[in-house]
Amino acid sequence: MASRKCDQCGSEIDGHNAHCPACGAPVPTAEPASSPQENAHRSKRWLKLISGAVVAGLAGFLFVAFFLTREETVSLPKGGPTLDFKATKTKAELGEAQAQNDFGSLYARGQGTQQDYAEAAQWHRRAAEQGHAAAQNSLAEMNEAGQGVLRSEADAVQWFRRAAEQGHRDAQYSLAVMLAVGRGGPLNDAEAVQWYRRAADQGDALAQYNLGERCIIGRGVPLDGVEAFKWLSLAAVQGIPDAAKSLDHLKGKMTREQISEGERRRASFAATNSASSAPK
């Protein structure tokens, strides 16, 4: 190790000494020279950092470029039609009820535009006021949840009813639930059962389950174990776990003849529904 001079007195100091032999001052430790391998390793680290920064910057640029240049075309869930945001907007502004409902759905889901429940509610309302059942149901759901509008269960019941009267299955079930628990108006078991039945007749599994349970306890309908068997078995086939449990419990209280009649009613309902929903 090379000798150095003391910073305090200027005396020559052997590289191995930790203190100056003349004045006793401490000698700073010299940083050892980097080996070629260490230099190469350090260079690789810097290259990785630089290349990482370049890649991150490029990715960010491409991300921004994609969202600035992408077409505002979206696919609605559950196999729905592909909708072009601008084209749908043009039709909606011209007053087409279906386009207004679709445009409201795009805003509600944030597809092709920023999610905006208030805007969604406005477009659903325009379509709903023209009598569009799906828009009426959507507006009712927004009123019930307070999305984009002030929460109002009374308004929700009003819009659910208007859609239900046009045969909208989801609205029929939702209206039945609200009537059954007295939300948005007085509790009304008899009317709740009517709407459960109409939704159940259209194949709504939850409506079938609720109707079956009511037939067991006689709430809003006469006690009828066979009819309960029919509705619970239809709901169970559609994957409602509670319906399957209730059905197993019910079977233990029924005669063979009653079970046989329940199975006959279930089969008759399934056959009728299958025939009515077959393509013509």
Q: Of 15-19, 99-103, 161-165, 271-275, which range is least confident? A: 15-19
Q: What is the pLDDT of residues 203-223, one digit of tens each?
A: 999 999 999 999 999 999 999
What span, in angstroms and rounded, lies between the C-alpha atoms of 68 and 49? 29
Distance set, CA 176 to CA 10, 189, 197 (Å): 99, 9, 9
Q: Provide the angle, in degrees to the nearest 10, between the axes of the packed helices 133-145 and 117-128.
A: 140
Range of lowest pLDDT (59-68, 119-128, 225-234): 59-68
| The pLDDT value given to residue 149 | 97
Mean pLDDT of the chain: 81
> CA torsion sign, 231 to 236 to 242 to 245?
positive
Q: Tokens 């067991």 — which residue?
A: 216
Reply yes or no on whether the pLDDT at 269 is more than 90. Answer: yes
- pTM value is 0.70
Exposure of 160 by Cβ count < 10 A (0-12 exposed, 13-18 middle, 19+ buried)?
A: buried
pLDDT of residue 146: 97
Count other C-beta atoms under 10 Å from residue 182's C-beta: 13
The pLDDT of residue 5 = 65
Cα 88 to Cα 113, 178, 242: the distances in Å are: 12, 33, 42
